[in-house]
Amino acid sequence: MANEKFNNHYQSLINNFPEVMAAVENLGATVRTAGPLDKKTTELIQLGVAAATQSTGAVHSHTRRALAAGASVAEIQHSLLLLISTIGFPKVAAALAWIQETIAEK
């Protein structure tokens, strides 16, 4: 349900601001391939940042992308547990709940 709401909002952004959204997508693709990190690693890093900023939609998105890139559920969970001493347990606990929602959808 939350995923559907996010997808509807994202689609609305694409419809209303096509040039801006194309630039955002192109920038994301460019920076992901600009260095030596593999796709799984980049998705886990972006997942961590999404958790730190409490971006529910981005946590869902990067969880799906990390899984598609070959990350295991344990690797995804561990990447968030590593953040406890940096961003705090409540934020990590919330992000762990959000990844469980995404995993449950599969």
State the maximum Cα–Cα separation within the chain, in Å, rounded to a whole number.
40
When pLDDT is cut at 50, 70 and 90, the band that residue 98 belongs to is: very high
Contacts of 30 (CB under 8 A, 6+ apart): none
Q: What is the DSSP letter of 27?
A: H
**Cα dist from 24 to 29, 36, 43, 66, whole Å:** 9, 21, 16, 19
Confidence (pTM): 0.84
43 close to 83: Cβ distance less than 8 angstroms: no
Residue 36 is predicted with a pLDDT of 97
pLDDT digits (tens, 9 = 90+) for 49-89: 999 999 999 999 999 999 999 999 999 999 999 999 999 99
